[in-house]
Amino acid sequence: MTVDAADLTLDELRVEMAPLVAEAAVFDGWTAAAVEQAAKDFGADPDVARLAFPGGAMDMIDAWIASVDGRMADALPADVLAKMPIRERIRSLVQFRLDAITGQEEALKRASAIMAMPQNAPQALKTGWRSADLMWRLAGDTATDYNHYTKRTILAGIYGATLAVFADDASDGKEKTRAFLDRRIEGVMKFEKVKAKWLNPDRETFSISRFLGRLRYPSS
């Protein structure tokens, strides 16, 4: 169904235009020129389109990331992911995001530079947390204790590091990025196994009193 830009609210226009702004940002950067080009491609009034991104570059980038979040959730709903092992769920979610922005590496590099600016750090962290939280929720995570926070922090770090490799990866099919992602996920899975072993309250632990008791009253 064709969407008439004139019938959209500013919030709706922002969502619809976000991928087009990202495409334009490959050449124009995250600037007003990118919004104008996206408005032209979408058939929206440029003056109205600019109002949809009042915060400038960070608003454009946030909308782009949110659009990837939305496409990911539509393509990989929780019921589909539930059929996979946990590591495959995370790998599939991150890989979808990478595939979704393939061809927009230059826009990614420019976005990363903008988000790394000190004044943008709080919003950048919030945006990264939002994506990591969504991925874990789609993967079926229901943790409410400190694991809720550690899982999201670790995943945000993995995703950020993978994006850095992805941005400069010229290998066929982004094989270098895929291998990097696999290694990072494997490392996290090993860490989770070790953590679960040591934090399991039901595991058998060494007890000095039990040990001394056995010395005194050995079992027959």
**Residue 208 pLDDT class (50, 70, 90 cuts):** very low
Q: Average pLDDT for residues 32-38, to the nearest whole number?
A: 97
- Please give the C-alpha separations between residue 154 and each of 83, 187, 205, in angstroms, as whole numbers: 23, 11, 28
Q: Which residue has the higher pLDDT, 189 or 84?
A: 84
Q: Which residue has the higher pLDDT, 187 or 127?
A: 127
Indicate the CATH number for domain 65-194: 1.10.357
Q: Which residue has the higher pLDDT, 110 or 216?
A: 110
Over residues 176-192, the pLDDT tens digits come to: 999 999 999 998 777 66
Residues of the chain with CATH 1.10.357: 65-194
- pTM, rounded to two decimals: 0.84
Cα–Cα dist 40/113, whole Å: 26
Residue 211 is predicted with a pLDDT of: 45
Close Cβ partners of 146 (under 8 Å, ≥ 6 residues apart)? none
Q: Average pLDDT for residues 21-34, to the nearest whole number?
A: 97
Over residues 105-124, the pLDDT tens digits come to: 999 999 999 999 999 999 99
